Amino acid sequence: MSAQGRQDTPALPNEPGSALRAWQKQPTSHPLTQMNRDPTEYDCTQCGACCRSFPIFASEADAVREPSIRQEARLLAEHLQAEDKAYQLFPLPFQTRCPYLKDDELCRIYASRPSVCRRFEAGSAQCIEARRRQGIEAS
């Protein structure tokens, strides 16, 4: 969970604890994502609540991009798999956070994180719910 940052992963500006800052400025087509608040109210680099609050699934394509997913995540039974869902990174309630979330609330595999993490937006309803569950107010 608290592994060191990958030396071969290019550093990104404002690397957030979850994946989201780089995606804030992009339009989303994710049907579950609804912008409720100004994302600038949220500082992902001090948060990581979404990486501790929800089950996180990765696809086979995600595992090709980030092969360590095959070791870190649980392979779903075949009848539970879908195109966007082959591994579960965060098998609640057995873990309390994504295995890639470091103690400094940054993502160890930010550059190659799963697609679901790339789509998640700061300020979305899910973001607000994650922060509520973790007792974190908007910054």
Least CB distance to ligand SF4 at residue 95 (A): 11
Least CB distance to ligand SF4 at residue 81 (A): 19
Only segment of 3-11, 26-34, 79-87, 101-109 that touches ligand SF4 (CB under 6 A): 101-109
Element housing 24 (H / E): none
Count of C-beta atoms within a 10 Å radius of residue 27: 5
Residue 17 touches ligand SF4, criterion: CB under 6 A: yes
Among 51, 63, 73, 86, interactor with ligand SF4 by CB under 6 A: 51
Q: How far apart are CA 51 and CA 67, in angstroms?
A: 19
Q: How far apart are CA 125 and CA 133, in angstroms?
A: 12
The sign one gets for the Cα dihedral 36, 42, 45, 47 is negative
E strands, the chain, are: 57-58, 74-75, 87-88
23: closest CA among 128, 88, 109, 119?
119
Only segment of 1-9, 26-34, 77-85, 114-122 that touches ligand SF4 (CB under 6 A): 114-122
Per-residue x/- mask for ligand SF4, residues 53 to 82, rule CB under 6 A?
Answer: ---x--------------------------
Residue 87 touches ligand SF4, criterion: CB under 6 A: no
User: Which residues of the chain form contacts with ligand SF4 (CB under 6 A)?
Assistant: 16-20, 42, 44, 47-51, 56, 89, 98, 100-101, 107, 109, 113-114, 117, 120, 122, 127, 130-131
